[in-house]
Chain A
Amino acid sequence: MAERGVLGENMFGAREATRGPLNRYPLWRYLVILTVVVLGFLYAAPNLFPPDHALQISPDGSDRPIDALFLSDSVAALEVEDVDVVGSELMPRGALIRVGSNEDQLRGRAVLDAALNPAGEVRAFVIALNLASTTPAWLESIGGKPMAKGLDLSGGIHFVLEVDIDSAISKRLGDEAENVRVRLREERIRYVRTGDMVVGNAMQIAFADAPQRDRALGVLEEDYPQPNYKIGPAEVAGRPGLAIEIDETQIDEIEDYAINQNMVSLRNRVDEIGVSEPLVQRLGSNRIVVDLPGVQDASAAKRILDKFANLEFHLLAMPDDRPSEIEEMVYEGRVRRLQKTIIVTGDRVTNAVQGYDPQTSLPQVNITLDSIGGERMHDFTAPNVGHSMAIVFIEQKPVKQADGSVVPREDRRLISVATIQAALGYNFRITGLSAREAQELALLLRAGALAAPMRIVEERTVGASLGEENIERGMYAVGAGFLLVLIFMPLYYKVFGLIADAALTLNLIILVAVMSILGATLTLPGIAGIVLTVGMAVDANVLIFSRIREEQARSPPQRAIQAGYDRAFLTILDANVTTLFVALILLSIGSGPVAGFAVTLAIGIVTSMFTAIMGSRAVVNLIYGGRRVEALAI
């Protein structure tokens, strides 16, 4: 084979080598590598500081201030029960107590709960399981943080809830159907009742004759414009009729609204459970993931998740109302008397947003009710203009029983009293609020109910002890596998094997650093991904070294190194790019364990390219570059 004197350049190789001495890197390349190594060590370092188990106390309806005295009392209460307290601090809203282990944490929560929340009363403080950082402040100040652990490693509960979108759509269509009837009556168009107006994604209305139908078409075309709706003549129950179909984009909108609304409600509920870092996330088109790290009691968590808040609209009592029909509640320090009759409840609220009055620019809350709610609202308010209406917010607050179990209890709170200025309908507004009040009221109104029913379709609980065991075993496996490779390489490739070991170690550190910076969550499959990356990362070095060995047969050592690196480069690139494709496909399609594995694999491929090619070359150049070498220790 004819020796080619000049080799193609590549991004990691050195064109300079063809002009200057072989196997020398310019200074800037060493500096780049050095910088990456230093950054790698810095950002991987926080993982050496495992966070402390901690208890976070925050007030929940209690007036007692959380101050130094409160904190020392709490710590004392824990120490009496032999809970290992390792530190405590006050936080902007609450306090944090660090304890020795997960077991101390669970026991500590029970102790604090007994001390701070008397049985039979509404909970005064939320005591949440938390993880408190132990990373040195200077590392945190440059953005260093340890990798978060997935539920399979930390223990906890994972729920997937499915939102029933179909019922959200049919509820919406039912409201629209009511609007259509009202509109037709207003226009004095005669339609024929044909049982259910809502069929699938469409409304169907039958008319007495074709002319009536055509008039209706003219009216409704304006109310239901393209492209959100498709409206057209159709035969309904053997009569001339109209079909109004919702467009896909409208359906997507209803779906998005329902999911987002349910997520807001879920977050409110999750806060009640006392988890410091819960995850509430949309999964695909109609599912919501709820991760509760550290929580162990699945049935208690489910009980709380099931209890959603609600709203009631009441009229304030008239002087001649009988006392038995009146409920008294405190609002802004004054006792208010409400009629017990409920005008509408929260599940009739389809939307509530904070806005501004276009004329006065004053903040207000715009409320939209569904058709039935709108009618009832109208019936109640029309004869009572000038009178006041109250909104009651009802929440299920956990109440501890004497036997330690927790039962939700209804907590009723008056959140708004407003004067009725006109007969109200589907859309009305509440004014006279500050911007903040308006925002909070809108949030509470939305938190009122679920936009669509949902049910648990997946539930996984990992015990804390199993989580710890998973970590131990995983780390042990990574360590053992890594060590085996580290031993094997120098045995087979001598000095070059040691260089590969250095590159491999560096790869592991950079991989951990990148995963920490990206905020990736470490899961069991993720650990497996790291292990596999270690095994496969060696491949690049093996390719290079076996090529150098081959080239040695026909070239002097320096040229063999050069040729080995250059010729292996394209092969490595091709192989890694295709594997990267696979990793990215896994990432985009898969979720859960598949995604965890894919993230690690993808990052590992990129970092291993850097360390195995550029990193190892730098060391090789330092050792062999620019001097007379008789034979390579390979």
Chain B
Amino acid sequence: MKTPNFDFMGARLIATVVSGVLIAVSIGAIAFAGLNRGLDFTGGALVEVGFDGAADLPAIREHLGASGFGNAVVQNFGAETEVLIRVPPVADRDQSTIGDEIFETLRSVWPGVAPRRSEVVGPAVGEELTEQGGIAMLVALFVVMVYIMFRFTGKFAIGAVAALVHDVIVTLGAFAVFRWTFNLAELAAVLAVIGYSLNDTIVVSDRIRENFRIVRRGKPVDIINRSLNETLERTLVTSLTTLLVLLALLIAGGEQIQGFATALTIGVVVGTYSSIYVAANMLLALGVTKEDLMLPEKEAADQSS
């Protein structure tokens, strides 16, 4: 198979605009609409029940409203017989019995209703989780940056972290725009996106560094283009296999991992794009040169042994 020869960097202005728009829309959506944070983060109660026939959602809403749960969100979950009911946290009230109460009041009208799961999370727990999640993300980004600075150079570190931040924001943005529920599992997915996107960025950066060292002539933009082309096959094949697996999760994994799989799918697609257009683009913008990548004495000695 011949190495392709696309002029990736030729389209970098367009890419910059695309990324800029994506990030602006994402930040806008997160700032104004906000993430549709799930029970894990907001606290409150959630009850999943199964009916013996198709569930009559309007009737359920009406009944719950009459029983003092007017602010309950009632929706189908996976099948028309399965219903998910979410109640935001109520002040001055023992949260821990809400789940049981909802179930009991439903059963008084629909005797065939069966409990699937019920979750109650106190508001303080949710707040702490939000905080922990944010810290986890920042620590992850920081550690990654230090490692890359150590293994590569500062410019690569900035490029890689820019790509990661880009991916995280766009993935979160998609959740904000489409109002998908964002829970702990989705947070785990976003953190996994950091891992995946990083993997991709490092592979590309590694090749750029290698080519900067062995290609004698050539402008940085040409060397980067060449590196991107050389790694293109691998980038696509890996993304494809990962997407194949995620597809299986999306289709067959069931409702409960749907959000997780969605977050990862978006992250993998965006991550593939960002390792080409954000990380490499950033390197060019920062003016990476051969001198940045001269082998340190010790490593040079190792290589020629």
Contacts and interface: CB of A to CB of B under 8 A. Distances in A.
A525 B263 CA distance: 13
A300 to B, nearest CB: 10
B198 A578 contact: yes
Interface stretch (B17-25, B173-181, B235-243): B235-243
Contacts of B125: 160, 457-458
Given A458-B122, A594-B184, A598-B188, A528 B257 contact: yes
Given A458-B122, A575-B199, A581-B143, A538 B241 contact: yes
Interface string A474-498: 1011101110110011001000000
A463 B117 contact: yes
Interface in A451-477: 455-463, 465-466, 469-470, 473-474, 476-477
Contacts of B303: 8
B203 A575 contact: yes
Contacts of A570: 206
Nearest to B303: A8
Given A474-B257, A546-B234, A585-B139, A531 B249 contact: yes
Contacts of B188: 525, 586, 590, 593-594, 597-598
A473 B255 CA distance: 10
Contact of B115 (A6, A302, A456, A463): A463
B167 to A, nearest CB: 12
A578 B136 CA distance: 15
A629 interface: no
Nearest to B135: A589
Nearest to A461: B118
A480 B99 contact: no
A473 B254 contact: yes
Interface in A513-546: 524-525, 527-528, 531-532, 534-536, 538-539, 542-543, 546
A4 to B, nearest CB: 8
A575 B151 CA distance: 11
Contacts of B238: 536, 538-539, 542-543
Contact of B247 (A302, A473, A484, A601): A484
A590 B186 CA distance: 13
A491 B100 CA distance: 53
A1 interface: yes
B198 A579 contact: yes
Given A459-B119, A571-B202, A578-B198, A586 B191 contact: yes
A535 B118 contact: no
- Which of the listed residues B151, B253, B254, B261 has the most CB atoms from chain A within 10 Å of its own CB? B253
A589 B136 contact: yes
A511 to B, nearest CB: 14
Nearest to B132: A589
B257 A462 contact: no
A532 B261 CA distance: 10
B119 A528 contact: no
A107 interface: no
B221 interface: no
Interface string B198-224: 110011001100100011000000000
Interface string A349-393: 000000000000000000000000000000000000000000000
A97 B100 CA distance: 32
Nearest to B187: A594
A477 B249 contact: yes
Contacts of A186: none
Nearest to B128: A284
Contacts of B1: 549
Contacts of A585: 136, 139-140, 143, 191
B291 interface: no
B82 to A, nearest CB: 9
A574 interface: yes
A162 interface: yes
Given A8-B305, A466-B116, A477-B249, A298 B99 contact: yes
A581 B302 contact: no
Given A462-B117, A480-B248, A298 B122 contact: no
Interface in B257-282: 257, 260-261, 264
Interface residues of B, number: 76
Contacts of A482: 245
A298 B118 contact: yes
A550 interface: yes
Nearest to B248: A481
- Which of the listed residues B139, B233, B240, B248 has the most CB atoms from chain A within 10 Å of its own CB? B248
Given A460-B119, A461-B118, A577-B147, A583 B195 contact: yes
Contacts of A333: none
Interface string B26-69: 00000000000000000000001000000000000000000000
- Which of the listed residues B116, B188, B257 has the most CB atoms from chain A within 10 Å of its own CB? B188
- Which of the listed residues A160, A299, A528 has the most CB atoms from chain B within 10 Å of its own CB? A528
Nearest to B207: A571
A587 to B, nearest CB: 10
A528 B117 contact: no
A466 B143 CA distance: 39
A92 interface: no
B203 A578 contact: no
B188 to A, nearest CB: 4
A539 B245 CA distance: 13
Given A456-B96, A461-B119, A575 B198 contact: yes
A34 interface: no
B74 interface: no
Contacts of A549: 1, 233
Given A577-B147, A582-B195, A481 B245 contact: yes
Interface string B107-126: 00000001111111110110
Contacts of A576: 199
A488 B245 CA distance: 11
A513 to B, nearest CB: 21
Contacts of B119: 458-461
A592 interface: yes
B284 interface: no
A534 to B, nearest CB: 6
- Which of the listed residues A296, A539, A592 has the most CB atoms from chain B within 10 Å of its own CB? A539
Contacts of A485: 241, 244-245
Contacts of A476: 252
A374 to B, nearest CB: 35
A456 B257 CA distance: 26
A298 B195 contact: no
B143 A574 contact: no
Contacts of A2: 214
A603 to B, nearest CB: 14
A550 B198 contact: no
A465 B252 contact: no
Contacts of B117: 460-463, 466
B192 interface: yes
Interface of B: 1, 3, 48, 95-97, 99-100, 114-122, 124-125, 132-133, 135-136, 139-140, 143-144, 147-148, 151, 184-185, 187-188, 191-192, 194-196, 198-199, 202-203, 206-207, 210, 214-215, 230-231, 233-234, 237-238, 240-249, 251-254, 256-257, 260-261, 264, 302-303, 305
Interface of A: 1-2, 6, 8, 152, 160, 162, 296, 298-299, 302, 455-463, 465-466, 469-470, 473-474, 476-478, 480-482, 484-485, 488-489, 492, 524-525, 527-528, 531-532, 534-536, 538-539, 542-543, 546, 549-550, 567, 570-571, 574-579, 581-583, 585-586, 589-590, 592-594, 597-598, 601
14 contacts: A459-B99, A463-B117, A473-B252, A477-B249, A477-B257, A524-B256, A536-B242, A542-B237, A546-B231, A575-B198, A578-B144, A593-B184, A594-B188, A601-B192
Given A6-B305, A299-B100, 17 more contacts: A162-B124, A456-B95, A456-B120, A457-B122, A458-B119, A459-B119, A463-B116, A474-B257, A484-B244, A484-B248, A524-B257, A531-B249, A539-B242, A543-B203, A550-B230, A575-B199, A582-B191
